[in-house]
Amino acid sequence: IGRAENANLSIPTDSKASREHAQIVCKNNKYKLMDLNSTNGTFLNQKKLDPKVLYPLKYKDIFCVGKTFIGFLYSNKKKKEIK
């Protein structure tokens, strides 16, 4: 995730985002977010992340890359289980 054109999620117009700002990693069907030592930091639910540390992502989490807010809306649960 970042300003780079070749990023899987490119936000080229966000001047506060680094070229390679953050990354989402999936292992065992669990998603985690990591700041890639960005200049302005990555925020998960308004808390600044330490660089190069994986943080679990949950359904409806909001993270911020530069000035861009992104909602995490993936869940492997059935609709009835999501609250």
What's residue 82's pLDDT?
A: 43
Grouping H, G, I as helix, E, B as strand and the rest as coil, residue 79 is helix
Q: What is the pLDDT of residues 54-66, one digit of tens each?
A: 999 999 999 999 9
Tokens of 73: 């809306």
pLDDT for residue 81: 45
Binning the chain into helix, strand and coil, the percentages to the nearest 5 are: 5, 40, 60
Cβ contacts of 34-38, under 8 Å, gap ≥ 24: 36/2, 38/2, 38/65
- What confidence score (pLDDT) does residue 77 get? 65
Q: Say how many C-beta atoms besides its own lie within 10 A of residue 76's C-beta.
A: 9
For all residues of the chain together, what is the average pLDDT? 92
Predicted confidence band of residue 28 (pLDDT cuts 50, 70, 90): confident
